[in-house]
Amino acid sequence: MRAVDNSVVDGLPGPLPAGEYLLWKGAPEWRPLARRAFHTSTVAIYFGILLLWRVCLALGSDAPLRSAAVPLALMTLLFAVGLGILHLLAWLTARTTRYIITSRRVVVRSGIVLGITFNFPFRQIESAGIDMHRDTTGDIAIKLDHATRIAWLHLWPNVRPWVLGHPEPMLRCVVEPPRVAKILAQALAASMRAEARIASTPPPGTEPMPSPRYLAMLEH
């Protein structure tokens, strides 16, 4: 893995500790985030059905159409404002969200008004999965161990949808998701190898235990 220059890490409250390296940093794309987290497409369809129903009522009534023009225009304006607010929230969320992968952890920082930073050390991560989308962006869900629990609402929108019992943090709507997933997988594998080496190293001043194969050879 190739470490990235970590002299300035946007999204972290301070510099990385000694021995920890930045591998990747990114943010969600706001348009896919608006569709999948704020459900703007669903809301637009719902508003369109309501508006069409109101038009049908106006056409079926005996009142002149001009009397329904003002209410229809007002309804259209309200619907447009509502969709605009949802898109603005998605844009602000994307602007204030940072995803960071280091050699030791995954960091998710989010919050329009008050930024909250979540740190997920690799020892708390059991597995990760990737979900690709047609717009070439993707989501990377992170399954935490059962001892690590964070409220679903605290993580939203950076959380896997509909997984409420044991919420899974998610890097949402990232570009080049296969590359990001590969970086995370390699970092997790390197961390596991390092922990295995530490666990197999005897404490200073103690003799290493011989392997079972060596003991069998001594008995003969």
Side chain identity at 16, as an amino acid letter?
L
Confidence at residue 216, expressed as pLDDT on a 0 to 100 scale: 38
Domain count, the chain: 2
Q: Indicate whether 82 and 113 sit together in one domain.
A: no
Q: Is residue 17 part of a domain?
A: no
Whether 61 and 146 share a structural domain: no
The answer to whether residues 146 and 109 belong to one domain is yes
Note the pLDDT of residue 49: 94
Which pTM value belongs to this model? 0.81
Q: Do residues 68 and 101 both lie within one domain?
A: no
Q: Look at residue 72 in the predicted model and tell me its pLDDT.
A: 86
pLDDT the model gives residue 17: 87
| Residue 181: inside a domain | yes
Q: Which helix (H) or strand (E) holds 46?
A: helix 40-60
| Whether residues 75 and 101 fall in one domain | no
Give pLDDT, residue 209.
43
Q: Kindly report each contact of residues 79-84 with a partner whose C-beta sits within 8 Å and lies 24 or more positions away, as own/partner.
A: 79/47, 79/50, 79/51, 82/43, 82/47, 83/40, 83/43, 83/44, 83/47
Q: What is the pLDDT along the chain (220 residues), one digit of tens a residue?
A: 444 444 556 767 778 888 899 999 999 999 999 999 999 999 999 999 999 988 888 777 766 666 777 888 899 999 999 999 999 999 999 999 999 999 999 999 998 888 899 999 999 999 999 999 999 999 999 999 999 989 999 999 999 999 988 999 999 999 999 999 999 999 999 988 887 777 666 666 655 544 443 333 334 3
Q: What is the C-alpha to C-alpha distance for residues 153 and 139, in angstroms, rounded to an integer?
A: 18
In the block, residue with structure tokens 């008004």: 113
Q: Check residue 202 and give its pLDDT.
A: 60
Same domain, 161 and 88: no
Q: Do 152 and 103 lie in a common domain? A: yes
Burial environment of residue 172 by CB neighbours within 10 A (0 to 12, 13 to 18, 19 or more): buried
Domain around 51: 33-94
> What's 110's domain CATH number?
2.30.29
